[in-house]
Amino acid sequence: MTSETLEILAMWGAVTAYAVGGVLYALGALFRRDRLLDLAFWISVAGLVPHTAGIAARWMRVGHGPYIGYYEAVSSLAWSTVVLLGIIAWRWPKLRVLGIVIMPISFLAIGGAMLAPKAPIELSGTLASWWLTIHVTFAKLSYSSFIAAFVIALAYVLRERRTSGAIADLLAKLPDQARLDDLSYRWIAVGFIFLTVMVGSGAIWANEAWGRYWGWDPIETWSLISWLVYAGYLHVRLTLGWHGKKSAWYAMLALPIVVFALIGVPVVFRSIHGAYLLGY
């Protein structure tokens, strides 16, 4: 079996596990079965085994990490998001039910990645820098943190609105509202630190690769916009005292900007970054 075949089989194994996990989460919530929710979590996390094997097989085959091309970038983002679910569940067991939102997001991400071209994109010597590894690593950490904040904020808003039914019963398993509010804020604060490192290391990498720290490339510009949006969140939270619903809605509305910066901008705008993300 070639490494390419192993990679594809492993990745489809991850897709299957994430799909099954997402379905079981939905069934467990609708039919109010805690055992189904537990099974959904463990199957979802088990999907990390083939997913990791697939990423590792490609890494060894193409000679660089999972950050060049849409397939690699989005697949590795799905991987980091599921890892995040595992970390959250380990630290706050009651929050494992958030997989009902996280797993469909992860499934759609890896499913979309599997439909994208998978031909390796060569990484030139000027771009192969340790700063690139730092840049990409902190990008994954920041995006995953913001997804966690979004999901927790969504749970906060839904619990404010729903007082009965299957969804309300599921949300009742979570920590109280004050705790959810605080956790969403903490994940955004951590994500903002990661995002700051991402932008800074990206500038250093750009200087090594292209001879300038900042060139107002579309992805650079939207990364700065994302940074300003979350800086605004921290400002209104810490200075103006936004808590509860205001804070939750801000966290929810901020995430699409980051998603657009990561996925939408390379599609809409042609740029240096996009050439390596989409391969055009």
Reading the chain (280 residues) residue by residue, the pLDDT tens digits are: 677 888 999 999 999 999 999 999 999 888 888 899 999 999 999 999 999 999 999 998 888 788 777 888 889 989 999 999 999 999 888 888 899 999 998 999 898 889 888 887 776 666 667 888 888 889 989 999 999 999 999 999 998 887 677 778 888 888 899 999 999 999 999 999 999 999 999 899 888 877 888 888 888 899 999 999 999 999 999 999 999 999 999 999 999 999 888 877 777 777 666 655 555 4
> Per CATH, which fold does 124-272 belong to?
Four Helix Bundle (Hemerythrin (Met), subunit A) (1.20.120)
Task: Give the pTM.
Answer: 0.86
Count other Cβ atoms within 10 Å, centred on residue 216: 8
pLDDT recorded at residue 277: 59
The pLDDT tens digits for 46-71 are 999 999 999 999 998 888 788 777 88
CB 205 within 8 A of CB 223: no
Show Cβ contacts of residue 111 under 8 Å, excluding neighbours closer than 6 positions: 15, 19
Cβ atoms of 278 and 70 closer than 8 Å: yes
